[in-house]
């Protein structure tokens, strides 16, 4: 029987834990602060940023959201980042991506103080993650590890296949699974025989960005399947990278879309911001 891993419920539990830690910090006179910068009118970004703001309020953080016009210059954006980099009350800082075309995304990301890079996008954090030093771990893969553990299936010694090699999800996901002592394979658009690779996997993390791309016949019985996909199907319905209908009846664990990885991602952003405030306190 297909068993679902409830990301919404787990995210609520994690937020309750974070809130309790925030209350302790507040008793010491520290309120974790997250600053989010949004440039332009991208509708998906507006939803994400609103949700981040809401989550901050829910866990008791100080939240600052800068909604800047589409024609903001790179110079003005960098000046704001510089100001927030130096602000004592801000522990986490991010610029919502994508930024408008006239702005150099890499220049913007690299301008962020690595000690406030709660997205975990900077080379300082990626490098630290790779060698097992203290780092801000990108939020989506961090949430995925929590979800896999929630299934109760042991990761150590298992064969894990990550599908997708992005800097934000696929690559850090593979590193985290390796740290958990899985045997890890990364598959991507040039992989030959994806089905063959997947059929050997005890753990699958799908981060491809193609609606219903992986079907039940490509998944081994007993596997834990984490679906990072957030796609619209031909009817405009939100669906994952895993074809849910063809998974029915399989003896597997699966994260649903919606209600799986999605709620965990922003929760891990809260966790990283909390960790940043705790690190600063020492
Ligand atoms: N755009 C889509 N996802 C993200 C994210 O996790 N962080 C930032 N900064 N921008 C995004």
Second CATH level (architecture) for the domain 28-113? 3-Layer(aba) Sandwich (3.40)
Q: Residue 49: CB within 6 Å of ligand 1?
A: no
Asked whether residue 231 carries a pLDDT value surpassing 90, the answer given is yes
- C-alpha 200/C-alpha 218 separation (Å) is 9
Asked whether residue 270 carries a pLDDT value surpassing 90, the answer given is yes
- Residues 100-134 pLDDT 10s: 999 999 999 999 999 999 999 999 999 999 999 99
What number does the ligand 1 atom closest to the CA of 94 have?
A: 9
- C-alpha 206/C-alpha 211 separation (Å) is 11
With beta carbons less than 8 A apart as the criterion, state whether 10 and 16 touch: no
Q: Which residue lies with its CA nearest to atom 9 of ligand 1?
A: 96
- C-alpha 96/C-alpha 183 separation (Å) is 33
- C-alpha 54/C-alpha 51 separation (Å) is 5
Q: Residue 94: CB within 6 Å of ligand 1?
A: yes
Residue ranges of the domains in the chain? 28-113, 139-262
Q: Residue 119: CB within 6 Å of ligand 1?
A: yes
pLDDT value for 92: 98
Please give the distance, rounded to the nearest whole angstrom, from the Cα atom of residue 165 to the centre of ligand 1: 16
- Residues 1-42 pLDDT 10s: 999 999 999 999 999 999 999 999 999 999 999 999 999 999
Share of the chain above pLDDT 90, in %: 99
pLDDT value for 212: 98
Output b/e per residue, 196-226; b: 16+ Cβ within 10 A: ebbeebbbbbbbbeebbbbebebbbeebbbb
DSSP symbols for 162-186: EE---TTTHHHHHHHHHHTT-EEEE
pLDDT value for 281: 87
- Residues 202-226 pLDDT 10s: 999 999 999 999 999 999 999 999 9
- Can you give the pTM of this predicted structure? 0.97
pLDDT value for 16: 98
Residues catalogued as catalytic: 52, 96, 119
Q: Residue 92 belongs to what H/E stretch? A: strand 92-95
Q: What is the arithmetic mean of pLDDT over 136-148?
A: 98
- pLDDT band at 282; cut points 50, 70, 90: confident
Identical fold for domains 28-113 and 139-262, yes or no, is yes
Task: Identify the CATH assignment for 139-262 out of 3.40.50.720, 3.40.50.300, 3.30.70.600, 3.30.43.10.
Answer: 3.40.50.720
């Amino acid at each position: 029987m297909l068993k679902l891993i409830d990301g919404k419920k787990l995210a609520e539990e994690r937020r309750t834990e974070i809130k309790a830690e925030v209350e302790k910090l507040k008793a010491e006179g520290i309120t974790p602060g997250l600053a989010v910068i949004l440039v332009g009118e991208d509708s998906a970004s507006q939803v994400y940023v609103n949700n981040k703001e809401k989550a901050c309020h829910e866990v008791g953080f100080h939240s600052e959201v800068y909604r800047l016009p589409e024609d903001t210059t790179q110079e003005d954006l960098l000046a704001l980042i510089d100001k927030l980099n130096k602000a004592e009350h801000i522990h986490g800082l991010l610029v919502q991506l994508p930024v408008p075309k006239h702005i150099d995304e890499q220049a913007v990301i690299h301008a962020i103080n690595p000690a406030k890079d709660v997205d975990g996008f900077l080379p300082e954090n990626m490098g630290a993650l790779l060698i097992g030093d203290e780092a801000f771990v990108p939020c989506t893969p961090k949430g995925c590890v929590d979800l896999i553990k929630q299934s109760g299936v042991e990761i150590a010694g298992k064969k894990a296949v990550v599908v997708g090699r992005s800097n934000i999800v696929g690559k850090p996901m593979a590193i985290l699974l390796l740290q958990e002592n899985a045997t890890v394979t990364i598959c991507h658009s040039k992989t030959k025989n994806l089905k063959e690779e997947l059929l050997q996997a005890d753990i699958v993390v799908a981060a491809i960005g193609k609606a219903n791309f992986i079907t039940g016949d490509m998944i081994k019985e007993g596997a834990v399947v984490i679906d990072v996909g957030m796609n619209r199907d031909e009817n405009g319905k939100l669906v994952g990278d895993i074809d849910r209908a063809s998974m029915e009846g399989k003896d597997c664990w699966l994260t649903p879309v919606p209600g799986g990885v999605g709620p965990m991602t922003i929760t891990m952003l809260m966790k990283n911001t909390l960790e940043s405030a705790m690190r600063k306190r020492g």
